């Protein structure tokens, strides 16, 4: 009976991070000083896009994800979103054993991306920082009123 109780307890704890933390995560992305940049994150399920500052829901995984941000008159911002082990993995090792660790590893729940990712972008020195506006013509002085002709007597 004791073996069955221990087995049931282990099965209940299996996938602890999967149950408590889930297999997806919201990640905020910012490009400090450059709001409105368009960013693309390359994930295993395809590219995910957003406009900064913004956030995106990502499937958890063990691979670092490349991110690129673009905006007119700025150089391309490139970075990597690292993946780290979720702290719940330690609980699985202690309480859930190999089964729980295996479930979390297979589902991706054992991994965690940072909650906030910043991508540096620098102004392009060869680009005009503000769009050129057409110049208004200089105001013209009012037309001069010609004096009546002098000495024209008929």
Which H/E stretch holds residue 39? strand 38-43
User: What is the pTM (predicted TM-score) of this model?
Assistant: 0.60
Residue 55 CA to residue 99 CA, distance in Å, equals 33
Judge contact between 69 and 76, C-beta under 8 A: yes
Residues sharing a CB contact under 8 Å with residue 118, sequence separation 6 or more, in sequence order:
29, 30, 31, 32, 79
- In the prediction, which pLDDT does 15 show? 41
DSSP symbol at 62? S
Q: What are phi and psi of 98, to 5 degrees?
A: -65, -35
Residue 91 CA to residue 101 CA, distance in Å, equals 9
Mean pLDDT on 9-21 = 44
- In the prediction, which pLDDT does 116 show? 97
For residue 131, what are the CA distances in angstroms to 74, 84, 134, 135? 14, 43, 10, 12
Residue 83 CA to residue 23 CA, distance in Å, equals 13
Helices (H), 55-147: 88-91, 97-107
Confidence of residue 154 (pLDDT cuts 50, 70, 90): low
- In the prediction, which pLDDT does 85 show? 77
Mean pLDDT taken over the chain = 76
Mean pLDDT on 126-130 = 73
């Amino acid at each position: 009976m004791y073996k069955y109780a221990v087995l049931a307890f282990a099965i209940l704890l299996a996938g602890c991070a999967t149950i408590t933390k889930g297999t997806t995560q919201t990640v905020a992305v910012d490009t400090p000083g450059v709001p409105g940049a368009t960013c693309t994150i390359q994930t295993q399920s395809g590219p995910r896009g957003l406009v900064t500052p913004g956030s995106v829901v990502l499937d958890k995984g063990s691979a670092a994800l490349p991110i690129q941000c673009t905006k007119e008159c700025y150089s391309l911002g490139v970075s990597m979103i690292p993946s780290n082990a979720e702290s719940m993995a330690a609980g699985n090792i202690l309480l859930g054993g190999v089964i729980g660790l295996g479930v979390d590893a297979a589902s991706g729940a054992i991994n965690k991306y940072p909650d906030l990712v910043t991508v540096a972008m620098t102004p392009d020195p060869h680009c005009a920082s503000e769009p050129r506006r057409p110049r208004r013509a200089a105001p013209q002085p009012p037309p001069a009123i010609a004096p009546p002709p002098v000495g024209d007597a008929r």
